[in-house]
Structure 1
């Protein structure tokens, strides 16, 4: 499984990068039901900052992202979304696993396949974090440019006001110069 296909299964929810139970089950090549049973048997290993159940609203937002994301070369995600996963009842909303939760899965799922997949998933999370850190400078540069542009907008506005005042003064002076003189004529 390549890194990009794993990264496409990582979403941001509640300020955390997470993977969903059915995506993890697919990566570990087990049924989602079996995967979740293993988790429930070891629920003490998964505090709220490692694993949480999505709300209906969060799930709706993710399904919109899934509907608009490019196809995953390893699975047909559109079939997953339009099938049983998209229309889950609130009692069966997916679990979301943070990076730490995924790491904890290694202690729960002990097959060789699970260990290899865990390593690949953790590497995907690390690559995303590295990408974000590498591009932090670009975000700061954009913020600086935005501030300069807003400063220039203020300065340009002041220049336009000054030009309008000058034009108004010239128009007023011209009005007085072009008027017909009255009174004593030579």
Structure 2
């Protein structure tokens, strides 16, 4: 496989391997190992040898409850349970970056760059989406105010129509031309 083929990982593939666990976007050890082209146990061994590089906000291990909940969400056949017998390590964006330091290969560095770009793109999309939501809320408020104002105008028009209907005819007062 050439280097160009190794780097041609579509965004969708990386995005499909990002999960939301403990209110954080994370990637699992088995998915990262597959992207890096190493076995999951090799990746875990490298991490265990360098635990000082992975504080809780960079990497954590799923609890049994989280693991069971996660497994139940993804119905897997026995053949697809590779790496799912044990609770996986979950790597945050910073943890993925740290992995490139301990998996010192050209592929690991290239894959890391790709993953970090996808995380950055996701963050930008989230920011864009948030701005759009804020703009929509502002438009909704304006429309709500406008509908209240239109209702007020119609109520004033109704009052004027009632006054006109209830008004009595009065003769005109003033100077009349042509009379002496």
Which protein is bigger by CA-based radius of gyration?
2
Tell me if both proteins adopt one fold, taking TM over 0.5 as the criterion.
yes
- Counterpart in 1 of 2:97? 103
User: Residues of 2 paired with 1:51 and 1:119: CA distance?
Assistant: 18
RMSD (Å) for aligned C-alpha atoms? 2.6
Please state how far the C-alpha of 1:138 moved relative to its aligned partner: 3.8
TM-score, normalised to structure 2, is: 0.66
- Counterpart in 1 of 2:69? 61
SS at the partner of 1:110?
coil
Q: Which runs of 5+ in 2 are unaligned?
A: 1-8, 148-180
1:131 equivalent in alignment to 2:98: no
Q: 2:18 aligns with which of 10, 34, 52?
A: 10
Runs of 4+ off more than 6 Å: none
- Counterpart in 2 of 1:30? 38
- Counterpart in 2 of 1:115? 109
The verdict on how the C-alpha distance between 1:37 and 1:120 changes in structure 2, with shifts beyond 3 A counting, is same
Q: Is the 8 A contact 1:63 1:81 kept in 2?
A: no
SS at the partner of 2:81?
helix
User: Residues of 2 paired with 1:28 and 1:19: CA distance?
Assistant: 13
The verdict on how the C-alpha distance between 1:130 and 1:81 changes in structure 2, with shifts beyond 3 A counting, is farther
Q: 2:81 aligns with which of 66, 80, 83?
A: 83
The verdict on how the C-alpha distance between 1:80 and 1:122 changes in structure 2, with shifts beyond 3 A counting, is farther
Q: 1:140 aligns with which of 130, 134, 140?
A: 134
